[in-house]
Chains A and B, each alone.
Chain A
Amino acid sequence: MNAPVLQAAAVHKHYRIGKQEIPVLRGIDLSVQPGESVALLGASGAGKSTLLHVLGLLDPPTTGEVRYDGVPVHGLPIGERARLRHRHVGFVFQFYHLIPELTALQNVLLARMMAVSALGYWGQRKAAKAAAIAMLEQVGLGARLHHRPSELSGGERQRVAIARALLAEPRVILADEPTGNLDSHTAAGVVELMFGIQRDRGLALVLVTHDERLAQRCHRIVRLADGVVVS
């Protein structure tokens, strides 16, 4: 059997506030197979976002290991971790997190500029632009290429964020309440889009949500409470 595309092994995460040590994650074990979708459910403050950050190499675990394709990743040098974060995972956030100065197209293109040198990018800029436009068309924003985030609706912004996460062709999507800020109608559209792409491309998906019905659409549901997996 293949190694899981993403794996957490006995992950602990403590935050220290002053002298106090606050345990947020207390021994998480989680494996995600290629193409698998996992819903992460839990009360607010359960540590879902924290786990996602640890899985996505944004935050180191206090103890325990995160493995990509069976290889531990948090011990790697910082530049290497950045490269892996770029290649292996794509983040989608509740609040979209687009850069306000950039147009939709530029925000997506940015994902192509992370791991190449300025000169290297110059050579492939036409191809990169074509790929970004194709990606925006796929998420239904072909007519919104040159709009700034402030000129887009919430649903449109989230589609841009999804396009950005996908442009680097990652193997895993880490989505943190991607519909949490959207009305139900818009949310449904975004959800359809996400699951569609996930299926088509055979991506792994870790989806943090409060929505039980949304969670049911995933292959597997993992419930988090007080920093441990309860089911």
Chain B
Amino acid sequence: MIAAFSPFLAVRYLVTRRINLLGIAGVMFAVWAMLVVDAVFTGFVSGIRRDVRTSTTDLLVTDLPHDTGYERLREAIEADTGLVAATAPRLRHHGMLQRVRQPQRRVRTQGSSQVDFDHTENGFALLVGIDPVREEAVSGLRSWLVRGPEELAQRYPGDFWSSTVLDEPDLERRSQLRAKDEVEWAARRRSNLPAAKNVQQHRADMPGVLFGWQRIRRTGALPEAEPFDLLVAAVGSDNQLRSDSDRVQFAGCFATGHRMFDENAVLLPIETLRTLLGLDSFDPASVDLVTDIAVRVRRDTSASALVAGKQRLQRAVQALLPPGSPPCSVLDWEEQNLVFLSAVAHEQAMMQFVLFVVMLVAAFVIYATLHMMVVQKVKDIGIMAAIGGSPAGIGAVFLVGGFTVGAVGALLGIGAGLLSVQYLNPVNDWLFANFQVELFPRTLFDLREIPCDLEPSWIAKVGIGAVLLALVVAFVPSRKASRMNPVQALSHE
């Protein structure tokens, strides 16, 4: 029970002392900063996680020995029908790409600070050989191809057409990512490459490659079926370095949202890459080489079933590898991006810590003002005692004072936070339009708008935390007041 005079006097003392506005402002600022910065960060992180998730398959069987073939493992993995919905082979290798024809004017990048180290405009690539038909069943390949031109069109002028290679009815052509006959014919003519006299006689034969949209920023907008030379080098079984090249055509542009992947990866038919590595599918002695196997799990798989399933798959695959092979890995999507995701999580934790320090400073301001108040009000404390105030009630005056400062500050901070989050993008746009300043530079992170994700549970945590902190710091002055000798307090000058 709080005696009636405690809140009454607390409020009178607060409203007659402007210095308390400082405490309120401090708490308000700290709460506001904690909400807005964390909202942006959470929005940013959940955006990153979403993008990373869509760029990553459910499970990836990896760390396989150098000459692992797909078919044998596929049978073993797909035999686990309780877990596995589909699999697709992946073959990673490094390569180089060079445009056949002279480059066009490049896309102008807005204030870009990127390092332009490759004058070839194409340069190095992380080649990812895929089986397009199977790949569609395990990853978001189709949606990546929709998103690629969208991302480009939102930023740059140019003709960013949507790829239709996945709609090709002929399975053989689709698995080669081949362009339509007439499209490739026109491309060959443009680039002065050998082509049939007339378009009816032409049969497309160049395998297609898919670029991440970040690569297009360097090459400029590319027409359909634009020819490229692809160079691959590898150490063969005879321990000699050998290289091979093939002529390929640009078959489309993808965006997964995972920046590193979209910058470096070039997708191409796995058979094309195997052939370049000297493994011709017509040669019965060659292996259907993979470095990884992407797995899509059934949608009804629970988290615990996934953990058990991972171990089961690992054992099944390991059993098929040559004896003595180092252990292969089966990684879920978070494990596939472990370093990246934990770096992001760590950054968020650091940010929260810094903001917590801001909150501590605000709490100290409250402590200082309340302490000052007790010192100024010694005589009043004696008066309260003389007219029948209990020590608990006298202490409560200052406790309620601290609580009120904390609560008012927290409420104002929450209000300001909600408004800021609501109007963050308009305000940012307005600032940029009128003063060329931005609160959060979007181009730095390549975002179209500032992501914001203010969770109610976080609002509650911050609000309650601020009030509790105010109560804790108010406790010391409050105890000092309640322990004062009333007679001495009355005679205080």
A91 at the interface (CB under 8 A from B): yes
Which of B4, B485, B490 makes the CB contact (< 8 A) with A117? B4
Chain A 53-79 interface 0/1 with B at a Cβ cutoff of 8 Å (1 = within): 100101100000000000000000011
CA distance A194 to B349 in the complex (A): 68
| Interface-centre pick from B5, B379, B388, B390 (highest chain A CB count, 10 A) | B388
Return the chain B residue nearest A102 by Cβ: B12
Min CB gap A131→B, angstroms: 14
Q: Tell me the dominant secondary structure on chain B's binding face.
A: helix
Min CB gap B19→A, angstroms: 14
Q: Is the CB of A116 within 8 A of B4?
A: yes
B383 at the interface (CB under 8 A from A): yes
Q: Is the CB of B8 within 8 A of A110?
A: yes
Q: Is the CB of B5 within 8 A of A82?
A: no
CA distance A91 to B389 in the complex (A): 13
Q: Is the CB of A83 within 8 A of B390?
A: yes
Q: Is the CB of A115 within 8 A of B9?
A: no
Return the chain B residue nearest A53 by Cβ: B487
Min CB gap A175→B, angstroms: 12
Return the chain B residue nearest A79 by Cβ: B390
Q: Is the CB of A117 within 8 A of B2?
A: yes
Q: Give every chain A residue within 8 A of B393 (Cβ-Cβ).
A: 82, 114
Q: Is the CB of A93 within 8 A of B388?
A: no
Known pairs A97-B379, A99-B9, A99-B380; A111 contacts B1 (CB<8 A): no
Q: Give every chain B residue within 8 A of A165 (Cβ-Cβ).
A: 387
A86 at the interface (CB under 8 A from B): yes
Q: Give every chain A residue within 8 A of B385 (Cβ-Cβ).
A: 58, 82, 85
B391 at the interface (CB under 8 A from A): yes
Q: Give every chain A residue within 8 A of B9 (Cβ-Cβ).
A: 99, 110
Return the chain A residue nearest B14 by Cβ: A101
CA distance A90 to B3 in the complex (A): 19
CA distance A91 to B388 in the complex (A): 10
Q: Is the CB of B12 within 8 A of A114?
A: no
A87 at the interface (CB under 8 A from B): yes
B382 at the interface (CB under 8 A from A): yes
Q: Is the CB of B5 within 8 A of A110?
A: yes
Min CB gap A53→B, angstroms: 5
| Interface-centre pick from B382, B385, B386 (highest chain A CB count, 10 A) | B386
Q: Give every chain B residue within 8 A of A82 (Cβ-Cβ).
A: 385, 388-391, 393
| Interface-centre pick from A112, A118, A122 (highest chain B CB count, 10 A) | A118
Q: Is the CB of B388 within 8 A of A87?
A: yes
CA distance A115 to B16 in the complex (A): 25
CA distance A97 to B2 in the complex (A): 24
Q: Give every chain A residue within 8 A of B223 (Cβ-Cβ).
A: none
Q: Is the CB of B388 within 8 A of A97?
A: no
B486 at the interface (CB under 8 A from A): yes
Q: Is the CB of B386 within 8 A of A113?
A: no
Q: Is the CB of A115 within 8 A of B3?
A: yes
Chain A 96-128 interface 0/1 with B at a Cβ cutoff of 8 Å (1 = within): 011101100010001111111110111000000
A164 at the interface (CB under 8 A from B): yes
Q: Is the CB of A114 within 8 A of B387?
A: yes
CA distance A157 to B308 in the complex (A): 83
CA distance A110 to B9 in the complex (A): 9
Q: Give every chain B residue within 8 A of A121 (Cβ-Cβ).
A: 4
Chain A 201-229 interface 0/1 with B at a Cβ cutoff of 8 Å (1 = within): 00000000000000000000000000000
Q: Is the CB of A118 within 8 A of B387?
A: no
Chain A 7-18 interface 0/1 with B at a Cβ cutoff of 8 Å (1 = within): 000000000000
Interface residues of B in 428-471 (CB under 8 A from A): none
Q: Give every chain B residue within 8 A of A106 (Cβ-Cβ).
A: 8, 12
B316 at the interface (CB under 8 A from A): no
Q: Is the CB of B386 within 8 A of A101?
A: no
A168 at the interface (CB under 8 A from B): yes
Q: Is the CB of B380 within 8 A of A114?
A: no
| Interface-centre pick from B3, B385, B391 (highest chain A CB count, 10 A) | B3
Which of B3, B380, B388, B490 makes the CB contact (< 8 A) with A111? B388
Chain B 288-317 interface 0/1 with A at a Cβ cutoff of 8 Å (1 = within): 000000000000000000000000000000
Which of B13, B390, B486 makes the CB contact (< 8 A) with A101? B13
B6 at the interface (CB under 8 A from A): yes
Chain B 1-29 interface 0/1 with A at a Cβ cutoff of 8 Å (1 = within): 11111111100110010000000000000
Q: Is the CB of B390 within 8 A of A78?
A: yes
Which of B5, B380, B383 makes the CB contact (< 8 A) with A113? B5
Return the chain A residue nearest B17 by Cβ: A101
B392 at the interface (CB under 8 A from A): yes
Q: Is the CB of B383 within 8 A of A97?
A: yes
Interface residues of B in 364-392 (CB under 8 A from A): 379-380, 382-392
Q: Give every chain A residue within 8 A of B386 (Cβ-Cβ).
A: 56, 58, 85, 91, 93, 97
Q: Give every chain A residue within 8 A of B486 (Cβ-Cβ).
A: 58-59
Known pairs A87-B388, A114-B389; A58 contacts B4 (CB<8 A): no
CA distance A56 to B486 in the complex (A): 11
Q: Is the CB of B392 within 8 A of A79?
A: yes
Q: Give every chain A residue within 8 A of B2 (Cβ-Cβ).
A: 117-118
Q: Give every chain B residue within 8 A of A97 (Cβ-Cβ).
A: 379, 382-383, 386, 490
Q: Give every chain A residue within 8 A of B485 (Cβ-Cβ).
A: 59
Return the chain A residue nearest B490 by Cβ: A97
Min CB gap B381→A, angstroms: 10
Min CB gap B311→A, angstroms: 61
Min CB gap A110→B, angstroms: 6
Q: Is the CB of B487 within 8 A of A83?
A: no
Interface pairs (10), CB distance under 8 Å: A91-B386, A98-B383, A99-B383, A101-B13, A110-B387, A111-B388, A113-B5, A116-B4, A118-B2, A121-B4
Q: A86-B388, A115-B3 are in contact. List 10 more A-B contacts (CB 8 A).
A: A58-B486, A82-B393, A91-B386, A93-B490, A101-B13, A113-B3, A113-B4, A114-B5, A114-B384, A114-B393
Which residues of A line the B interface, CB within 8 A? 53, 56, 58-59, 78-79, 82-83, 85-87, 90-91, 93, 97-99, 101-102, 106, 110-118, 120-122, 164-165, 168
Closest 7 CB pairs of A and B: A86-B388, A121-B4, A113-B5, A113-B4, A82-B390, A114-B388, A117-B1
